[in-house]
Amino acid sequence: MNAIVDPDGPQLCNLPSNPIPPGARVAYMRTSDNVRLRYALWRNADVKNKGTICLVHGRTEFIEKYFETIGDFLRRGFNVATFDWRGQGGSDRLTANSRLGYVDQFDDYWTDLSCFHSEILLPDCPPPFYLVGHSMGGLASLMAATRDRLMFDRAFLSAPMLAIEGQPLSMAGMARLAEALCYIGLGHLPIGRKGDKSPGEDTFPGNVLTSDFHRYMRTVDVFRARPDLEVSSPGIRWLAAAFRAMARAGDDDFPGRVQIPVLMLAAARDEVVSTAAIEQLGLRLRTGRHAVIANARHEMFIENDDIRGQVFAAFDAFITEQSP
């Protein structure tokens, strides 16, 4: 079956290097605070399907980046439901600078996820529901797991954003600093690294995301075809929200408030988020654990075949094991 789209509605970018998995349905939904999100569903033709994967992305990411991974889940017998977070991908941008990474507060991502769960997952997708989150989406997933233990049966997280290494202050200290800058009107000021630029062939050497050139270039192909999907540097308001959420995840009582089975995978060569913070939380979770994938960089779902094989072996074992 070909992708099902409304010609006047949202579109998915279909490229020879990154084809849409068959059977896609793409549409918009509105959150309770009236933000329009682009989402997509894939229903598995297997009558013995295993439930639904709710896939949530990292900062700057978008549905098209996960086409290969969505296909992997479909071949395993799952349905897949995914959406672009507010402020990125094909969802509503929140500032006049459409490329600025921005959110008012991290709880806005909870609004996106909880509305998607109630408006799309519950009526349109078969249970059980499994939450799969990467990086920023992994942190949002953990926050959801502390709020409602009935939304998802399990959560599988890739390199969750629990802390950022190399900061001059703690996560709480960085949050206070960024919040003070927002207070004096600098919330929309972008904060990037020297030399940041759009990805291309010349940015692959030394990149911190993946060792796989062809998968890296798929994202480049999408940006060239759909430059409107790209997000660049985060604004100070986004940093304030993210640091405050990471500080909450580091609170002493946080592990005990995660109430569903969780498996967190950390990348041994991660230079984006703190592998040590993932290990520390994994050792303290009552209903979860962690594993470190050797040689992996931050984006394990777009890493080389060997690393992706380890990621999906961990996923398969985790999803099929008996709940404690």
What pLDDT band is residue 22 in, cutting at 50, 70 and 90? very high
Q: What angle do CA 248, 138, 59 make, to 5 degrees?
A: 100
Q: Quick one: pLDDT at residue 168?
A: 95
Q: Quick one: pLDDT at residue 2?
A: 38
Per-residue pLDDT of 263-313, as tens digits, reads 999 999 999 999 999 999 999 999 999 999 999 999 999 999 999 999 999
Q: Taking the model in full, what pTM does it have?
A: 0.94
* Residue 244: strand, helix, or coil: helix
Residue 14 lies in a domain: no
Q: What percent of the chain has pLDDT over 90?
A: 90
**Selection from 1-5, 38-42, 199-203 with the highest mean pLDDT:** 38-42
Enter the tokens of residue 183. 């207070």
Could you tell me the residue range of the domain that residue 220 belongs to? Answer: 24-320
Residue 137 lies in a domain: yes
In sequence order, what are the residues at sequence separation of 6 or more whose Cβ sits closer than 8 angstroms to the Cβ of residue 58?
134, 135, 136, 137, 138, 161, 299
DSSP, res 127: S
Residue 173 lies in a domain: yes
Per-residue pLDDT of 83-105, as tens digits, reads 999 999 999 999 999 999 999 99
What pLDDT band is residue 8 in, cutting at 50, 70 and 90? low
Q: Quick one: pLDDT at residue 47?
A: 65
* Residue 313: strand, helix, or coil: helix
Give how many domains the chain has, as a whole number. 1
Residue 16 lies in a domain: no
Residue 216 lies in a domain: yes
Residue 311 lies in a domain: yes
Residue 225 lies in a domain: yes
Rg of the chain taking only CA atoms, in angstroms: 18
For residues 155 and 130, give the distance between their C-alpha atoms in angstroms, rounded to a whole number.
6
Per-residue pLDDT of 107-143, as tens digits, reads 999 999 999 999 999 999 999 999 999 999 999 999 9
Residue 15 lies in a domain: no
Query: Could you tell me which residue, 198 or 206, shows the higher pLDDT?
Result: 206
Indicate whether 321 pLDDT > 80.
Answer: no
CATH number of the domain at 251, please.
Answer: 3.40.50.1820
